[in-house]
A and B are shown apart, each in its own frame.
Chain A
Amino acid sequence: DQQVKQNSPSLSVQEGRISILNCDYTNSMFDYFLWYKKYPAEGPTFLISISSIKDKNEDGRFTVFLNKSAKHLSLHIVPSQPGDSAVYFCAASYSGNTPLVFGKGTRLSVIA
């Protein structure tokens, strides 16, 4: 059973507009969430994270929102750029060094 779900396999957005990538989780024990960006044939690169004690974290064009009651988080990219085109993975963490649990990813295409 998937504990972390990214229900949209793909998303297309016009350059300059907002991209919103969504992630749902089922396990209330998760207390830290991370977003990664991945290009083909490369390792994922860390983008932004959020602790469960917060509901928002912002870093430049990237903002992550966490709604604990809904077990939902989202990544907003504003403005979207063609270089943002990649697969985005949501990951969740328990306390301690238990493995990150990943969603299946959402492929974002930013169209010029």
Chain B
Amino acid sequence: DGGITQSPKYLFRKEGQNVTLSCEQNLNHDAMYWYRQDPGQGLRLIYYSQIVNDFQKGDIAEGYSVSREKKESFPLTVTSAQKNPTAFYLCASHARTALKAEAFFGQGTRLTVV
């Protein structure tokens, strides 16, 4: 069954800790993205990767880091520098052809700072 798997579903972080959110896809998509959702804010782009070993900052990259060592995996680290990390995080993968675009999301990770 093809899809995107995010883990964990719920994550609690203490102040000053780094945490890493996992995202794995078996859709063979080149591009992967991380979005953050806050109430009333829609989906805001944190980081994206269009190809293995390459990634770009999105609109709200400060306090986050990523890696893309494998096509299937795009983990997101929320560092202690992120001042307001409590949010719902969504990972997506994306593929475009000349005639079609498809993008699928994982089920999300709810991160709470305690």
Contact = CB atoms under 8 A, between A and B. Distances in A.
Contact of A43 (B94, B98, B108): B108
A97 B97 CA distance: 9
Task: Place the interface of chain A in its size category.
Answer: 20 to 34
Interface stretch (B12-20, B43-51, B62-70, B75-83): B43-51
Contact of B103 (A41, A96, A100, A104): A100
Contacts of A63: none
Contact of B96 (A97, A103, A105): A97
Interface string A25-48: 000000010101000011111100
A87 to B, nearest CB: 9
Interface in A58-112: 89, 91, 93, 95-100, 102-105
B43 A43 contact: no
Contact of A102 (B43, B50, B106, B110): B43
Interface of B: 4, 6, 30-31, 33, 35, 40-43, 45, 48, 50-51, 58, 88, 90, 92, 94-96, 98-108, 110
Q: Which 4 A-B pairs have the closest CB atoms?
A: A104-B42, A43-B105, A97-B31, A32-B101
